[in-house]
Amino acid sequence: MSYSVTDVSLENLSSLFSDSRQKLNWSSVFVTPVWLQAWWQVFGEGWQLYIREVRDGDTVIGIAPFMIRENAACFIGGTDVCDYQDFIVAPGMEKEISTVLLDDLKSNGIKQLELKHVRPDSVVYSRMVDIARERDRSVECTAEEVSVEMGLPGAWEEYLERLSSKQRHEVKRKLRRLTEAGEINYKWADNITTVPGFMDLFFRMFTESRADKAEFLTEQREAFFRNIVDKMSAAGLLKLGVLELDGREMASIICFDYNNTVYLYNSGYDPEYNYLSVGLLSKVFCIQKSIEAGREKFDFLKGAEIYKYHLGGQEIPLYKCEIRIK
Q: Write down the mean pLDDT value for the chain.
A: 96
Q: Are 312 and 117 in contact (CB under 8 A)?
A: no
Pairing of strands 59-69, 88-89: antiparallel
The pLDDT tens digits of the residues spanning 30-60 come to: 999 999 999 999 999 999 999 999 999 989 9
- CA torsion, ordered 147, 153, 154, 159, to nearest 10 deg: -100
- Provide CB contacts within 8 A for 317, sequence distance 6+: 119, 120, 143, 145, 146
Instruction: Give 321's Cβ-side CA count (13 Å radius).
Output: 27
- Supply the DSSP symbol for 276: G
Instruction: Show pLDDT as tens, one digit a residue, over the chain (326 residues).
Output: 689 999 999 999 999 999 878 889 999 999 999 999 999 999 999 999 999 999 999 899 999 999 999 999 999 999 999 999 999 999 999 999 999 999 999 999 999 999 999 999 999 999 999 999 999 999 999 999 999 999 999 999 999 999 999 999 999 999 999 999 999 999 999 999 999 999 999 999 999 999 999 999 999 999 999 999 999 999 999 999 999 999 999 999 999 999 999 999 999 999 999 999 999 999 999 999 999 999 999 999 999 999 999 999 999 999 999 999 97
Q: What Rg, from alpha-carbon coordinates, does the chain have?
A: 21
| Burial (0-12, 13-18, 19+ Cβ within 10 Å), 146 | middle
Sorted by where each starts, the structural domains of the chain and their CATH numbers stand as 4-146+318-324 (3.40.630.30), 153-295 (3.40.630.30)
**Strand runs (DSSP E) across the chain, as ranges?**
4-7, 48-56, 59-69, 72-75, 88-89, 112-118, 138-151, 184-189, 238-245, 248-258, 261-269, 297-302, 314-324
